[in-house]
């Protein structure tokens, strides 16, 4: 049984042990935190071992014009994405140990040649200090004691708040360009409906006297748009969204959409599917103290994928256990504003993103604006500027894994005649985190296409030696 507070405490303690570099300035800067926790249940013991194997912080995302076709820039630095990419580094290290005969505490041999699977009793869960941006954050406000989210007094499409000052994710800093127009919320109904009227409402409809939390993530082009009506009708729900950037659109899907995708095609990525018998899924998603609705989170991560079928072997639609902790992240925006002093200036989001993962070499990686934190302009475009989480660096790590595998032990999908050559489609590799401009009705096709990426690398032959 997973205890949400135990998981939150474990992740917060791991963050507190990290060096100061890249952390927010107390009382002035805030950030979000996410982590991947490995859970090991041993057959010969009643205890369950829990260990943070990857941790990430961040709230930023680069615009589409700043993206690189070479995969050497980190496009998305939201905490959930950072934590998942750090976990890929950890998985590559564990597979490297497995194929080299050193033994892995995570993987054991599968029946198919060159394939590996999780050891019995090993699973992974995702912790995030705040509800993921996008669909999961469109939460109805309520006066319930367990979920105190009273109606907002003013809202724009980039920031939202409640009376307690508990703020949702703000994608960008204010003051960039003209201020967006504010929706006229004064037209909302002022009187709440009676309990009897509430009971007559459909189970998926909320009383119009209430409001919802806003998300800064925008509906993808060519899909349904937000109606911007006052109250609960402001947003469309269950649709794909892209994250706002620094004054320009991005091509990165919201974290809600990415988690939904990982719940179908796994979080291991296309490359590691060559070595794995089955996709890897998060067994549990734990959210820290913040505005939260389990119903909304289930809609965003599970329900809208429930109709996906005819998946390849090793893939299935998974429904993780959804839990919330009562513990708030010390560097959340709410806590930062409570500790803020006037002489510190305005409260703002921390510009740096921290990645830590349980690997032997270079476990800490701090980035800003898609590059290593503190890199000079002269170094831009060189290996020194690259984050260890960017697609190119992860690809190099994968090449090292392939090179460390004896030829007879390579998976069939990586064998090409008798040489150490294998086929990979680099356009797929460099675009699967940016597949955002899809109509909502093609969501299932989008998920299936990503699963096909795991098997369809046949456009470019790369020499390993």
Interatomic CA distance for residues 391 and 377, integer angstroms: 21
Is residue 252 within a helix (H) or strand (E), and if so which, with residue range? strand 249-253
Alpha carbons 427 and 245: distance in angstroms, whole number: 23
Cα–Cα distance list, 453 to 425, 448, 459 (Å): 8, 9, 12
**DSSP alpha helix (H) spans, 32-166:** 79-99
Q: 243: which residues sit within 8 A by CB, 6+ positions away?
A: 61, 76, 78, 133, 134, 171, 216, 217, 250, 252, 253, 254
Q: Where are the alpha helices (DSSP H) in 79-218?
A: 79-99, 195-200
Rg of the chain (C-alpha set): 22
Which is the catalytic residue, given 29, 80, 94, 172? Answer: 80
What span, in angstroms and rounded, lies between the C-alpha atoms of 169 and 248?
17
Length of the chain measured in residues: 465
Residue written as tokens 């349980």?
A: 358
What does the alpha-carbon distance between residue 381 and residue 135 come to, in Å, rounded to a whole number? 35
80 is catalytic: yes
Count the neighbouring beta carbons within 10 Å of the beta carbon of residue 66. 15
Active-site residue set: 80
């Amino acid at each position: 049984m997973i205890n949400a507070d135990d998981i939150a405490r474990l992740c917060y303690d791991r963050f507190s042990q990290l060096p100061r570099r890249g952390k927010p300035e107390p009382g002035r800067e805030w950030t979000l935190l996410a982590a991947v926790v490995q859970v090991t249940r041993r057959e010969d013991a009643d205890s369950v071992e829990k260990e943070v194997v990857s941790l990430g912080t961040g709230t930023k995302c680069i615009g589409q014009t700043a993206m690189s076709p070479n995969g050497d820039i980190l496009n998305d630095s939201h905490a959930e994405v950072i934590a998942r990419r750090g976990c890929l580094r950890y998985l590559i290290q564990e597979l490297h140990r497995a194929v080299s005969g050193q033994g892995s505490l995570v993987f054991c041999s599968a029946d198919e040649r060159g394939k590996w699977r999780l050891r019995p009793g090993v699973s992974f869960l995702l912790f995030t200090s705040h509800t993921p941006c996008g669909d999961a954050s469109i939460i109805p406000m309520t006066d319930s004691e367990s979920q105190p989210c009273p109606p907002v007094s003013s809202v724009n499409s980039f920031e939202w708040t409640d009376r307690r000052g508990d703020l949702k994710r703000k994608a960008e800093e204010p003051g960039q360009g003209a201020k967006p127009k504010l929706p006229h919320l004064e037209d909302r109904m002022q009187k709440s409906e009676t309990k009897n009227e509430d009971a007559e409402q459909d189970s998926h409809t909320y009383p119009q006297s209430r409001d919802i939390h806003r998300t800064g993530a925008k509906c993808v082009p060519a899909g349904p748009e937000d109606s911007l009506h006052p109250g609960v009708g402001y947003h469309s729900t269950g649709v794909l969204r892209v994250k706002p950037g620094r004054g320009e659109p991005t091509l990165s899907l919201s974290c809600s959409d990415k988690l939904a995708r990982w719940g179908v095609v796994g979080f291991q990525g296309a490359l590691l599917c060559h070595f794995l018998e089955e996709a890897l899924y998060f067994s549990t998603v734990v959210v820290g103290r913040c505005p939260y609705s389990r119903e909304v989170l289930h809609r965003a991560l599970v329900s809208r994928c429930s109709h996906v079928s005819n998946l390849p072997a090793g893939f299935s639609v998974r429904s993780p256990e959804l839990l919330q902790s009562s513990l708030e992240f010390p560097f959340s925006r709410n806590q930062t504003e409570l500790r803020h002093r006037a002489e510190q200036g305005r409260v703002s989001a921390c510009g740096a993103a921290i990645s830590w993962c349980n690997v032997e070499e270079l476990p800490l990686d701090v980035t800003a604006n898609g590059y290593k934190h503190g890199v000079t302009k002269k170094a831009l475009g060189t290996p020194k500027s690259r984050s260890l989480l960017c697609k190119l660096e992860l690809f190099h790590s994968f090449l090292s894994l392939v090179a460390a595998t004896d030829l007879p032990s390579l998976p069939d999908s990586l064998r090409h005649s008798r040489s150490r050559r294998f086929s990979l489609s680099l356009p797929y590799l460099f675009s699967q985190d940016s597949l955002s401009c899809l109509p909502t009705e093609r969501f299932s096709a989008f998920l299936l296409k990503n699963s096909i990426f795991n098997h369809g690398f046949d456009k470019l032959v790369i020499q390993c030696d």
